Amino acid sequence: MGYSGHVLIARGERPLSESGVLAPVQVLHESGYAGGWQRAQLDGDLPGALDALLAQTGAPALVAYIMDSDLADVSAASPGGVRWRAYLHQETAEDYGAPALPQSTDEVVTQALAWAAEAGLAPDREAVRAALLAGHTFAEETLDELVEALGIGPAE
């Protein structure tokens, strides 16, 4: 049995666990990336997390709901209004009965690049596309690949 819950990625001056956004759920793990980006892995569901993070940090944020490590429903938003959503492990999402998303992979790539640019990141178009289409054993691995492709680097 794999992990099910939210993974939140945002830039901020203090740990995500210290924000009021995460108060209703248990934080299982926190880690940092370069440039003040942070990641929090939560135990369970946290509806409204993306908009709450966006409001609190004033910076682009990304939230992934992972189901049994099989798939990830990824949503991202920026203060400038860029929003995108994608399923990592699309075929598995279809097997689970997830509704079809309105944007094509190419449209998601375009929006994801705009989101990353607003965040001051240097994304790699082909790597973003490859991550969106990847099929690693665990959705968490695919999410890590996507985060790196968007330009969020490892901890300094």
Q: Which domain holds residue 70?
A: 5-149
3 by Cβ neighbours in 10 Å (0-12 / 13-18 / 19+) ranks as middle
Q: Is residue 28 part of a domain?
A: yes
Mean pLDDT confidence for 69-78: 97
38-54 pLDDT per residue, tens: 999 998 788 888 998 89
What is the pLDDT at residue 14?
83
21-32 pLDDT per residue, tens: 777 788 899 999
What is the pLDDT at residue 17?
84
pTM of the entire structure? 0.93
Among 134, 123, 125, 81, which residue's Cα sits nearest to residue 106? 125
| C-alpha to C-alpha distance for 147 and 119, rounded to whole angstroms | 13
Long-range contacts of 104-107 (CB under 8 A, 24+ apart): 105/129, 105/132, 105/133
What is the pLDDT at residue 46?
80
Domain count, the chain: 1
Q: Is residue 155 part of a domain?
A: no
What is the pLDDT at residue 104?
96
